[in-house]
Structure 1
């Protein structure tokens, strides 16, 4: 019998294992049973820590956020535009680090208060720039929703690092839409250079926020 002691089973270890498996099997293939097998425990043991898969996703999103926050440096001298750019660029980068990362993150609730300092700082910066608290909330939520939605679409076409859907042929798409020349030509803009698409879309969101609230 082996005398090697395994690391204790806790929420952080389970979530860390789940995030690692996520890159192998994707969200649809991730289950408590799969995670339990990887941890060499019985599935019921996980229910001591997570009542269901949604609770696990909440913890996974929290772990993703902690890792993201550790890699994003904010400058107190940031303008509100710079802060929202940094926040959402960092979020996109973090989500792209996991297969189905945006689907995991979307709709979850953080399990702790690790997000509170950055949220407080961002709200203080925006309200200091002239936004009301409600406007600052709407501005941040809108930029966040754009980023999540964009990455969900991006990962639908490019599921994980370097992968691409094999059934997309832009040339064939253009041929099928030949009698609709603008619709045919737009394929190259819709399904390529996601970095450019994201930056342009986020710039449009920020310009809209500034125009809506009259804050430069």
Structure 2
């Protein structure tokens, strides 16, 4: 008779393994069964910590945010524009560390409260600059949604930095759309130089927020 006990499964270990496996198989391939196999446990063992894959994704997104926030904080006197720019640059960098990182993050519910420290600082900076609390929320979420959407599209072309999906050859696309010269030329801006495109887009969003609310 085999009296060996099932190894105790640590929740943090399961999340760390899931994030590592995500880079190998992507979101579609990240199943509870695959994670259990990687951990050398039976799949039901995961259900002690996660009722379903959605709960696992929430924990993964929470851990991604923890790692992002661990990179450091801005000085207390940083202005609202600086905070929005820095926060969304950090968010993009964090998402790009994982295959399908933006899809994991999008719509997730953070299970901790660490993110609230940074959220409070950013909202406070905007309110102190003259935004109403509601305007501050709208401003921060607009920039956040831009970043999530941008990285989702970016990872659709380059799942990981330096890895490019087939079907996004700029010259082939331009030849195929030769009858639509502006659309053909747009490919050079749409499907490459993502760093430059993100930076320009983010600055447009931040400038638009300031213009909309009349706050510099």
Instruction: Provide TM-score, normalisation by structure 2.
Output: 0.95
Contact 1:88/1:143 (CA < 8 Å) preserved in 2?
yes
Unaligned runs of 5+ in 2: none
Residues of 1 paired with 2:137 and 2:64: CA distance? 22
Unaligned runs of 5+ in 1: none
What SS is found at the alignment partner of 1:192? coil
Residues of 2 paired with 1:84 and 1:7: CA distance? 44
Higher alpha-carbon deviation: 39-48 or 166-175: 166-175
Residues of 2 paired with 1:173 and 1:149: CA distance? 22
Deviation at 1:194, TM superposition (A): 0.2
- 1:31 aligns with 31
For residues 79-109 of structure 1, the C-alpha deviation after alignment (integer angstroms, 9 at most, x for no partner) is 1000000000000000000000000000000
Alignment of 1:49-64 (within 5 A): 49-64=49-64
Alignment of 1:108-123 (within 5 A): 108-123=108-123
- 1:204 aligns with 204
What SS is found at the alignment partner of 2:19? helix
Alignment of 1:28-177 (within 5 A): 28-177=28-177
Contact 1:123/1:136 (CA < 8 Å) preserved in 2?
yes
Query: After TM superposition, which residue ranges in structure 1, 4 or more long, deviate above 6 angstroms?
Result: none
Deviation at 1:207, TM superposition (A): 1.0
RMSD value, Cα: 1.4
Q: In 2 relative to 1, CA 6–81 (structure 1 residues): closer, same or farther, beyond 3 Å? A: farther
Deviation at 1:179, TM superposition (A): 1.8
Deviation at 1:22, TM superposition (A): 0.3
What SS is found at the alignment partner of 1:143? helix
Higher alpha-carbon deviation: 164-173 or 14-23: 164-173
Deviation at 1:10, TM superposition (A): 2.3
Q: How many residue pairs were aligned?
A: 212
Deviation at 1:112, TM superposition (A): 1.1
Residues of 1 paired with 2:100 and 2:41: CA distance? 25
For residues 66-86 of structure 1, the C-alpha deviation after alignment (integer angstroms, 9 at most, x for no partner) is 000011321112110000000
Deviation at 1:183, TM superposition (A): 1.2
Deviation at 1:178, TM superposition (A): 1.4
What SS is found at the alignment partner of 1:115? helix
Q: In 2 relative to 1, CA 119–6 (structure 1 residues): closer, same or farther, beyond 3 Å? A: farther
